Structure 1
Amino acid sequence: MSNTKLIIEERAANIGNFLVGRLLPFRQKRMVGPFIFIDHMGPAHLGAQDNLDVAMHPHIGLSTLTFLFEGAIMHRDSLGTAVEITPGAVNWMTAGKGVVHTERTPERLRHSEKTLHGLQIWVALPVEKEQCEPSFTHVEADEIPSWEDNGVQFKLIAGKAFGKQSPVPVYSPLYFIEVKSKTTQTVTIGQHLFGESALYILEGHISSDGHTYGAKQLLVAKDSTLCAFELAANTTVYIFGGEAFPETRFIEWNFVASDKSLIARAKEAWTNNSFPPVPNETERIPLPPPKRFGG
Structure 2
Amino acid sequence: MRTIKRIHKAEYRPIADLVTYSPMPTRSLQQIDPFIFLNHHGFQTYPERNQGLPFGPHPHRGMETVTFILEGDIMHKDSSGHESVIGPGGVQYMTAGRGLIHAEVSSTEFKRNGGDLEILQLWLNLPAAKKMITPNYVGLQKEEIPAFDLDGGKIKVQQLFGEWNGVQGAFEGTFPLTMSTIYQEKGGKFEKVIPSEENIFFYIVRGELKVNGEEIQFRNLVEFTNSGEKIAVEALEDAILILGHAKPFNEPMVAQGPFVMNTQQQIYEAYQDYQAGKFGSWDH
TM-score computed with the length of structure 2 as normaliser: 0.90
Match of 2:216 in 1: 213
Does the alignment pair 1:248 with 2:249? Answer: no
CA separation in 2, counterparts of 1:102 and 1:187? 37
Return the match for 2:167 from 146, 164, 178: 164
Match of 1:196 in 2: 199
CA 28–173 in structure 1, closer or farther in 2 if over 3 Å, else same: farther
CA shift digits 1:184-219 (9 cap, x unpaired): 133211257860113211122112354311111111
8 Å CA contact 1:32–1:242 kept in 2: the answer is: no
1:103: Cα distance to partner? 1.4
1:7: Cα distance to partner? 0.7
Does the alignment pair 1:29 with 2:32? Answer: no
CA separation in 2, counterparts of 1:109 and 1:204? 26
CA 228–128 in structure 1, closer or farther in 2 if over 3 Å, else same: same
8 Å CA contact 1:180–1:235 kept in 2: the answer is: yes
Q: Secondary structure at the match of 1:84?
A: strand
Does the alignment pair 1:185 with 2:188? Answer: yes
Match of 1:226 in 2: 230
1:72: Cα distance to partner? 0.8
**Farther-moved stretch of structure 1 (147-156 vs 11-20):** 11-20
Does the alignment pair 1:153 with 2:156? Answer: yes
Q: Secondary structure at the match of 2:229?
A: helix
Q: Secondary structure at the match of 1:156?
A: strand
Aligned residue pairs total: 280
CA separation in 2, counterparts of 1:125 and 1:27? 23
8 Å CA contact 1:45–1:116 kept in 2: the answer is: yes
CA 131–206 in structure 1, closer or farther in 2 if over 3 Å, else same: same
Match of 1:125 in 2: 126
Unaligned runs of 5+ in 2: none
CA 214–96 in structure 1, closer or farther in 2 if over 3 Å, else same: same
1:142: Cα distance to partner? 2.0
8 Å CA contact 1:172–1:243 kept in 2: the answer is: no
What's the C-alpha RMSD, in Å, of the aligned pairs? 2.2
8 Å CA contact 1:33–1:241 kept in 2: the answer is: no
CA 185–52 in structure 1, closer or farther in 2 if over 3 Å, else same: closer
Match of 2:83 in 1: 82
1:117: Cα distance to partner? 0.8
TM-score computed with the length of structure 1 as normaliser: 0.87
Q: Secondary structure at the match of 1:23?
A: strand
CA shift digits 1:71-123 (9 cap, x unpaired): 01111100111210112222111111100011111112222222221111111
Unaligned runs of 5+ in 1: 281-295
CA separation in 2, counterparts of 1:119 and 1:194? 26
Q: Residue type of the partner of 1:15?
A: I
Q: Secondary structure at the match of 2:19?
A: strand
